Amino acid sequence: MQLIHSPPSPFVRKVRVTLIETDQQDAVELVDVATTPLKTASEAAAANPLGKIPALVRPDGPALHDSRVICRFLSARAGANLYPEDAIWDVLTLEATADGLLDAAVLMVYEHRLRPADMVYEPWLDAQWSKVSGALDALNARWMSHLYGPDTIGHIAVGCALGYLDFRHADRDWRKGRDGLAAWYGTFAERGSMQTTIPTA
């Protein structure tokens, strides 16, 4: 299998962490691409009609795209329990919260990177950060007992989301007022899968 990817992408990191946590990294070749919403890499377009990464190219079926689909496939392929049936709706909601946080955080990066400086719209940035803050507050207030429970895709998704905030939005200080979440992440970030996949610019 081939993973169409770019190392800075937090959604790619989520898949890579899942590969490591399920001991499948040797089954996947990493195909590095440079792609943006304004200039889609040909490999990304060939694997995903939306032109987005990550995409997982399989030898025995159509390519899979969207990190949620890929991670669920990898969990099933390995016989892992990242999506436990007895907590499935909580797990999926936690994953969606982390991914939604990332959607907003990535849009903030694109606002600066893809627009001319004189066209950057500050109210848009503020609105996106409000979404990030709301997700962080919910994680800190409602989800800590889950995060300290058995490992699921929710843990991986949240860990990668918080890592992305440190990577691209360190000046926003997401830890302030969220001691529980910050303490959890301090431990989770030390996992081998997280250390191996630390993004670079």
User: 36 is in which domain, residue-wise?
Assistant: 2-78
In this prediction, residue 38 carries a pLDDT of: 85
Q: Are residues 126 and 51 in the same domain?
A: no
Q: How many domains does the chain have?
A: 2
Q: Are residues 59 and 23 in the same domain?
A: yes
Q: Given 78, 100, 115, which residue is the final one in a domain? A: 78
113: in domain: yes
Identify the segments of the chain with pLDDT beneath 70: none
CATH of residue 94's domain is 1.20.1050.10
In this prediction, residue 201 carries a pLDDT of: 72
In this prediction, residue 35 carries a pLDDT of: 87
200: in domain: no
In this prediction, residue 89 carries a pLDDT of: 98
Q: Are residues 189 and 92 in the same domain?
A: yes
Distance CA 119, CA 189 (A): 36
144: in domain: yes
pTM: 0.95
Q: Are residues 102 and 151 in the same domain?
A: yes
In this prediction, residue 37 carries a pLDDT of: 86
